[in-house]
Amino acid sequence: MRDYNVGIVGATGAVGAEVIKVLEKRNFPVKNIKFLASSRSAGKYLKFKEENILVEELNENSFKGVEIAFFAAGLDTSRQFAKTAVSSGAIVIDKSSAFRMKEDVPLIVPEINKDKISEHKGIIASPNCATIILVMAIYPLCKLSKIKRLIVSTYQSTSGAGAKAMEELLVQTKAYLNDEKIVKEVFPHQIAFNLFSHNTRIYENGYNDEENKIIEETKKIMDDSDIKISATCIRVPILRSHCESINVEFENKTTVDQIRESIRNSKGVKLVDDRENNYFPMPIDSSLKDEILIGRIREDISRENCVEIFVSGDQLLKGAALNAVQIAEELIEK
């Protein structure tokens, strides 16, 4: 296997920093690496495999020689520069929502639909973090029976809003404990010792942007437009790792033991379901871990052919950086 010229757009952000770590940890075959960011961050140095590398300002000429470009800088940046990168010869793996629902852009979670990667036309989309955690959790279940309906409630950490949001939680917590004024800069509401509806705009259907992403992206990834999905997304005062409570309705009867066995035999997930000790998935356990933790598995006593599960996954890893790098690994393998 040969080495590749890699670029990371948004290298100084929370997700970009995780992409760098994941590339190192998984020994991705990097020949040269280019760190790209806004003018505010240009001029800094970031370390990659013990080498200090200058962060360059992102512009139209940034992608000369780049073969794989990870985009982790947000919607507007992807819209402005992704096609430029493709025109320069790079394959873009984009973490933003800019291209996810485009018909000619594959939306990939490698454990589920890596066969779709070859359909790309220069851009491959990585799903929303909450969507990735959801589909990773239900994929072992759909091997047992077709899923008719999902009701998901998310408990999303501040890492989903970036490094500044994580810092805001720490600063507000310190202020709260010292009886000082709470300053809100990133979130519209106090995040320390509080929780609130996900801070994205509400659409005419009553669902916010995050909830609509989960609904539409899940259908695309699972290649099932008939599945019924309802989502409620909540921001909680946790630094990293999202949690989700998921109610799954099957076409056929599926037992708790069958579900546990399927999880044990599936990649990228881990069973954490200890009823005796009341020990189930928690952010403190899933943080900095590659696997999605699944537990609290029980039959829904109010409805036939339904089960409840609770899951937790690191938003910055499998929910973002790890999934993107896994896409790149599958890409070069093909």
Catalytic site positions: 129, 242
What is the token pair recorded at 91? 């394959």
| Whether the Cβ atoms of residue 41 and residue 48 lie closer than 8 Å to each other | no
Calculate the alpha carbon distances from 220 to 21, 127, 186, 282 in Å: 29, 10, 31, 28
| Whether the Cβ atoms of residue 234 and residue 195 lie closer than 8 Å to each other | yes
Per-residue burial over 169-178, b if 16 or more Cβ lie within 10 Å, else e, is bebbeeeeee
| Whether the Cβ atoms of residue 36 and residue 11 lie closer than 8 Å to each other | yes
| DSSP per residue, 6-31 | EEEETTTSHHHHHHHHHHHHTT--EE
Token look-up 């757009």 returns 9
Calculate the alpha carbon distances from 121 to 90, 117, 132, 205, 286 in Å: 11, 10, 22, 32, 34
Q: Distance from first CA to last CA of the chain, Å, rounded? A: 11
